[in-house]
A and B are shown apart, each in its own frame.
Chain A
């Protein structure tokens, strides 16, 4: 057990070189990467590096807005000057079940309607083809796949393939899934996101405030699930990105500063790496 970690990493890299495949970033290593003092490590994880396959789980279809909002929040930080497009893929038949992304609404997550390209695809094999094709493109920041159903074809092998492709191209993939069941998958990170009753609007006590999520990380590395409730965080989406909210103050007495109307295009340079992009 006391084997030093660098050896393990070197061994991994060696095996990867032998197998001629990219080294997969390890979720646990990502988590350990930014141990900023006084900050929740999970919050640092919300700013994940590119090239990772995520799974975002919501409990039910009616939480599809929450799942998409959280995913866009994650994916937004990946947009750089030479990677300006986010691709959203959905099976055409499922649009009525979970809704289509609305160009004017995604602005509240710092994306212009132009950035998000929507693919409405007929069959799962074609969707997977489109996913791989988009991942391979070096100008794509991230690919979001929204699946309301649980197709058999999307098994461990396929997810492994996607995760390798993502790592090879440095493009992140996000799989939005619904339901309480979990299938084996090669995703580096598995998120579980739930909506939470928001803080009241300071100017209108009866109105909902900023979107609030309960996020939980269920998986950090291949084949190793975290214990439920271990990493658990309540965040608000504000104009500066995700802001952690103290879970003990479920209903904060002093509500958060109300940002500019969320529908206005948010200054994308705030809170992400766009301004520093090479």
Chain B
């Protein structure tokens, strides 16, 4: 029995058949229930956990039908919908399919009811109130008529109201004036009725994306070893590549679904930089990907079905590689990037993409090599010298400099002091006024003792605060735009040993807050 805190009391929200035989009911106070049944097993109800477990459970059912959904109109868990159009014959007919699916769950100790009907609403109604039925289209209306109105997925007040009016079965609603029903019980009653009868469409949102091209294999005996799985993947990749080849297609993303006997689905996905249907390459990507999941792999009691699905399809007709084409190795490179990405992760292998802005850490965006976006033609302008390396986060330095615009004469960085022999600058880079809030957020000089500017774009493409394309949102906690505290003056300095650094000063001398000095990069 499960309980939940409702209106200040610990009340029962769900109970099993044995408990209801003992006279307990939903909504009862838990202490009353304990008085009735002293040895009651009471567990707290965790809706999030239940929802999560149930959705995993739903995913597992995609081994029976490609379109599986959780009917969340009444509760976020508990009702499973399978679209079995064109699937039933694989199980030897609808009756056998229903018996198989319900039977295998019962065998595992779940109390399960099922029904097959033409509409989602009708199937729900029969599964709850007349389980085990398979209702053909012609009998749908008459079969539904006998069920109680609760079978229409109504809320409690609607059902109670209908019962009070003497409308106990669905059949009694058929001839009623729809406007009156709608006025009294809300539009949802009419909608539900129409949905059950198939007069209006009800959409199913599949949990697992439907793949058009896939290859799968079922095992009589569940398998467990990762090596076995990878060997199967190799076979499936060959099947899939033949299928894709027959239609002249290539795919960029591949998803592997491992169906475990204990109702869990493990998914593994890999992406390729360009479309491919090379079975060896696909299999190798999965081998690398599997090395990245050390420890995460858990076959449970075994895997009884494996499916390999292809996504992001693009046409790739067979062409002869011309004898006059120049071999620039581009294909080898993309393969290399695919392999590295599948093992190291997409954000580990990146390229620099110039962006049209003057803010140095924004002017280069690190993007995954396998997900290239077109270059910005205006980005590579004629810029003053730029350093060879940039620190992901500028580091504060102590500087002795001439006021107001002199370059540093002496600086202390990482506790080592050096004398500056040569310097050029300043190169003034203003904050971009059209992203006022954002720039202020990045560039507010740190308070005394606090020595860090928040990580910026160059640091980690994973955690981009706001993409440059998006307009900055107004952030109220920030001070209003003040050019005197956000302007940066960059200097190239060279110390007495010839090391060349890129340092900048944020803010101006004489402004409301004192300027801060930072080291941002290294020159050769």
Contacts and interface: CB of A to CB of B under 8 A. Distances in A.
Interface string B340-356: 10011001111111100
A207 B492 contact: yes
Contacts of A226: none
A108 B369 CA distance: 22
Interface in A78-106: 81-85, 92, 95-96, 98-106
Contacts, number: 213
A83 B350 CA distance: 18
A62 B336 contact: no
Given A83-B329, A118-B366, A134-B336, A201 B424 contact: yes
- The size class of the interface chain B forms with chain A is 35 or more
Contact of B391 (A96, A114, A120, A140): A96
A263 B385 contact: yes
A105 B354 CA distance: 11
A237 B154 CA distance: 79
Give the one of A102, A114, A118, A130 with max B CB within 10 A: A102
Contact of A101 (B383, B388, B424, B501): B388
A113 B423 contact: no
Interface in A253-270: 261-265
Interface stretch (B204-212, B256-264, B516-524): B516-524
Interface string A130-141: 100110011110
Contacts of B328: 81-82, 84, 139
A262 B424 contact: no
A117 B351 contact: yes
A197 interface: yes
Contact of B329 (A118, A139, A208): A139
B496 A197 contact: yes
Given A113-B351, A117-B337, A139-B330, A108 B498 contact: no
Interface in B376-402: 380, 382-393
Interface string B404-448: 000000000110100001111000000000000000000000000
Contacts of A83: 329
Interface string A202-218: 00101110011100000
22 contacts: A62-B522, A63-B499, A64-B522, A65-B500, A70-B524, A81-B328, A85-B333, A100-B390, A102-B521, A104-B386, A105-B386, A105-B521, A106-B352, A106-B388, A108-B385, A116-B351, A121-B344, A126-B343, A133-B336, A139-B329, A140-B336, A263-B386
Interface of B: 326-330, 332-333, 335-337, 339-340, 343-344, 347-354, 360, 363-364, 366, 369, 380, 382-393, 413-414, 416, 421-424, 458-459, 492-494, 496-501, 521-524
